[in-house]
Amino acid sequence: MKTDTKSCRRKCVRSSRQEAFANAIGDWQATDPNDNSHQTLTIEKTTAEQYTILLIDEAASSCGKDSSGSAFGAEVTGSGGAIAPILNIKDAIMACLTDPNR
C-alpha cells in the first residue's frame, strides 16, 4: 500500500513526534551527581501537542543554604511542546523553597 506523502506529511510528522515522546510522560526520579540530592520530574500532556513539567530539586545550590548549611530546594514549572525527541519548555519559572526538606 502506497501512502500519499503530500496529504500525509503534516499529520504523519505530528503523529510521529507525539508517539516518540509518549514514553516520557509520567513521574521520574533522579539523584543529582554533584550533591546527591533527590530530584523529581513530572511530565503531563495537557493537549494534543502541549506538555507541562514540574521539577523539584531538594537541594538546589542556586537557592542558597539555611543557617545549618542545608541547601534550599527549588521548584521549576513550565509548559511547551515536543519536537521528538526533545521537550521544548518555554517560560519556565524557578522558585526557591523556604524549607530545605520539602
What does the H/E/C string look like for 54-81? Answer: EEEECCCHHHCECCCCCECCEEEEEEEE
Tell me if 40 is assigned to some domain.
Answer: yes
**3-state SS assignment for residue 47:** coil
- For residue 13, the surrounding DSSP H or E stretch is helix 5-21
**pLDDT for residue 53:** 93
Q: Mean pLDDT in runs of 10 for the chain (102 residues)?
A: 43 51 85 89 88 92 88 93 80 84 54
Tell me if 78 is assigned to some domain.
Answer: yes
**pLDDT for residue 9:** 45
Tell me if 102 is assigned to some domain.
Answer: no
pTM of the model: 0.71
**pLDDT for residue 88:** 87
Please give the backbone phi and psi of residue 30, each rounded to the nearest 5 degrees, phi first.
Answer: -155, 165
**pLDDT for residue 4:** 42
Query: Domain count of the chain?
Result: 1
Q: Are 63 and 97 in contact (CB under 8 A)?
A: yes
Q: Which domain holds residue 78?
A: 5-96
